[in-house]
Amino acid sequence: MKRVFPALLLLACTGLFAATAPKPKITSQDQLPRHQYPLTGDVTKVLTDDAAYAKLAAAVRADLEKLLADFDIADRSTLQDILGTLLALDVHAGRYDEALARIRKMRELEEKPAAKLVTGLLAETYIAARRAVESGNEAAFRAEFARRYAAALAALPWAVVGDVIKQTKGSAEIASEALLLGNIGSQFQPGVDKTGAVSGDVAQALVAQRTSFAHYLPLKAERVAALSAYVAANQKTKADIWAARSVDLAGASGLAPVVVAIWDSGVDAAVFGAKVWTNPAETANGRDDDGNGFVDDVHGIAYDLKANRVPELLLPLTAEQKANYPGMRNLTKGLLDVQASIESAEGAELKKLMSGLKPDAVKPFIEGLNFFGNYTHGTHVAGIAAAGNPAIRLLAARITFDHRMIPDVPTLEQARRDAAAMREVVAYFKQRQVRVVNMSWGGSPRDIEGAFEANGAGGTPEERKKTAREYFELSRVALTEAMSGAPDILFVVAAGNSDNDAAFAEFIPSGIDLPNVLTVGAVDQAGEETSFTSFGRNVDVHANGFEVESELPGGERMKYSGTSMASPNVANLAAKLLALQPRLTVAEVIDLIQRGAERSADGRINRINPKRSVELLRAARR
């Protein structure tokens, strides 16, 4: 977001203080300097050609080392990212002592228990095997790597790292040269063709992927074998803490209807029957019967990709998309099964398809999965929010998310339209007496910068940063003011899945701190912090966000993971409290949720306990 560097006071009379002056402190991603590097031709050459790689790698190394030397970076995740890129550079260059030092530093910075144990494990094992085997004897090296990697995995505590290792295994199983080259080319080639340059973010990704391509991908068979053996030897289902804590209001008497808005990618209202909110003054006839500016807002409102008002609460599918839907559903299930180490027909089909995937087929493949995920996301979230609550009344507010790898070029006009739509949506919630809103989405200035670069637009990285800040501020201010102006609505927001500090990254809405905003991180079925969940001072509570089952459009059910799933679990609890006691204020609902939650011994996570929160409510009513 914004770059602000404090001025250094230099005393003209002496140079003594210059050496001890504190380094400027970076407290948000916007303060990080942006870099640009010349690059022409086939961008994937950086992964396959030493000459194309060498010049870029030297420049990236110099800038990252200077960044560490010149600034005090407050964010641990940013430091880990920088060190991770330098680690990749060191491994490729054979600078193994430096690489091992980077790993130690990265582990010191890591706070998540599982990540602390597995960070750098692959690089560490690779280095040890290289050093143990005479150079040039590749067969002996591969055997040594396999032995050491299996031993390193066996030493890990499964109860702590099991979920991370299963995900690592899944990623290793589907990795291929074609997937890596196709993904890199699809994302970055259009921008390079237009500008002849890449930003620091893209350059770091390229040089890091060079190490994966040259050193780790050739060891795929050994890695998969070792990971599979470790999973097979330890595979056991974690105890699920959530069933014992759940609250089901089915059959309860005296419940008050509670309007809960699902501000998301769209909801299939037909799935939820009587749990859907209905506007009595509107009918589905192609007209604005109640004169409020929305056509056919029978069960909510919707906006298309350009923030135009449209009547469809669920994105209409083309004939081709309808035909592709079953295949995309099966591939998505297969991907989720592979990531969870579940043997299934869908998982086997996914691995078979990806093993034969050509680079030019990667873009449509990824975009197809993205489209399916976007299309089903809002309905899945709504199902979680509505579970066990016959008093809920789901009001849909559809945002249309872009599934394409190269999005539209950001414009000031569109930024203004998006900001205006945010204000309109919250105003609609107020008019309809919405009590709880779930927001399982987010964005940041870096997303806008990335969209500029993907299109080869926006000028230099510093110019893109400035413009992105201008556009982002329109949405941030609009959303903040709108939510602040709706103090009687509880906004429950997902922390994000980037394993970073949402406040430092300036994500919205999770980076917005208001009395009526509750930010939710994700834990797994055992209540342990997930590897993907974002964190930081803005994260108030944690809920189950790991393999949570819920509805898809049409009524099928599937398990999804993410803070997107954790957030509606909290919205679900808030709605149940309001169904039991509609006179509760937002502050009282938050208090009941937080007093019922359980803080972990290390203070990092604060797990909700719906049963305990309801007990606290009932005790207060006696």
| Global pTM value | 0.92
Query: Contact 507/444 with Cβ under 8 angstroms?
Result: yes
pLDDT of 620 reads: 86
Closest by CA to 55, choosing from 65, 66, 45, is: 45
The predicted pLDDT at position 335 comes to: 87
Res. 622 pLDDT band, cuts 50 70 90: low
Q: Rounded to an integer, what distance in angstroms lies between the CA atom of residue 356 and that of residue 404? A: 22
- Return the SS3 of 445: helix
Q: Hey, is 550 helix, strand or coil? A: strand
3-state secondary structure of 491: strand
Q: What does the alpha-carbon distance between residue 206 and residue 208 come to, in Å, rounded to a whole number?
A: 5
Average pLDDT over every residue of 320-331: 92
Indicate the pLDDT class of residue 584, thresholds 50, 70 and 90: very high
DSSP class of residue 501? B
What span, in angstroms and rounded, lies between the C-alpha atoms of 339 and 521?
20
Domain ranges of the chain: 18-234, 257-314+373-585
Q: Which of 232-236, 268-272, 476-480 has the lowest mean pLDDT?
A: 232-236
Cβ neighbourhood burial of 113 (10 Å; 0-12, 13-18, 19+)? middle
**CA dihedral angle for residue 213, residue 217, residue 219, residue 224, rounded to 10 degrees:** 160
Give the closest residue to 39 by CA, choosing from 21, 20, 53, 58: 53
Average pLDDT over residues 522-534: 91
The third-level CATH classification (topology) of the domain covering 257-314+373-585 is: Rossmann fold (3.40.50)
Contact predicate 205/43, CB 8 Å: no
pLDDT band at 242 (very low <50, low <70, confident <90, very high): very high
CA distance 359 to 47: 14
Does 45 score more than 90 pLDDT? yes
CB 197 within 8 A of CB 39: yes
Three-state secondary structure call for residue 107:
helix
Angle, helices 461-484 vs 445-454, to 10°: value is 140
pLDDT at 347: 87
Q: Where are the alpha helices (DSSP H) in 485-527?
A: 502-505
20 pLDDT band (50/70/90 cuts)?
Answer: low
The pLDDT-based confidence of 438 (bands split at 50, 70, 90) is very high
Question: Across the chain, what does the average pLDDT equal?
Answer: 93
Tokens of 56: 């870029």
**Higher per-residue confidence, 21 vs 111:** 111
Beta strands 517-523 and 490-494 are parallel
Helix (H) or strand (E) run with residue 88 in it: helix 76-93
User: How close are the terminal C-alpha atoms of the chain, in Å?
Assistant: 49
pLDDT digit string, tens, across residues 531-548 = 899 988 889 999 999 999
What is the rounded CA–CA span in Å between residue 231 and residue 564? Answer: 27
In the block, residue with structure tokens 């998006």: 418
Q: Report the C-alpha gap between 595 and 274 in whole angstroms.
A: 32
Taking the C-alpha atoms of residue 547 and residue 525, their distance in angstroms, rounded to an integer, is 8
pLDDT at 5: 27
Q: Where are the beta strands (DSSP E) in 387-434?
A: 392-398
pLDDT digits (tens, 9 = 90+) for 348-381: 888 888 888 899 999 999 999 999 999 999 999 9
| DSSP element (H, E) containing 210 | helix 200-211
At residue 342, the pLDDT reads 80
CA dihedral 48, 54, 59, 61 (to 10 degrees): 80
Q: Is pLDDT above 70 for 255?
A: yes
Confidence of residue 621 (pLDDT cuts 50, 70, 90): confident
Assign 3-class secondary structure to 13-33: CCCCCHHHCCCCEECCHHHCC
185-237 tens-digit pLDDT: 999 999 999 999 999 999 999 999 999 999 999 999 999 999 999 999 998 87
Alpha-carbon span 549 to 275, nearest angstrom: 18
C-alpha to C-alpha distance for 400 and 266, rounded to whole angstroms: 8
Pinpoint the alpha helices (H) of 49-199.
50-70, 76-93, 96-109, 113-118, 121-132, 138-154, 158-174, 177-195
Report the range of poorest mean pLDDT among 329-333, 412-416, 470-474, 486-490.
329-333
What pLDDT band is residue 7 in, cutting at 50, 70 and 90? very low
363: how many CB neighbours lie within 10 A of its CB? Answer: 17
Q: How far apart (Å, rounded) are the C-alpha atoms in residues 115 and 424?
A: 41
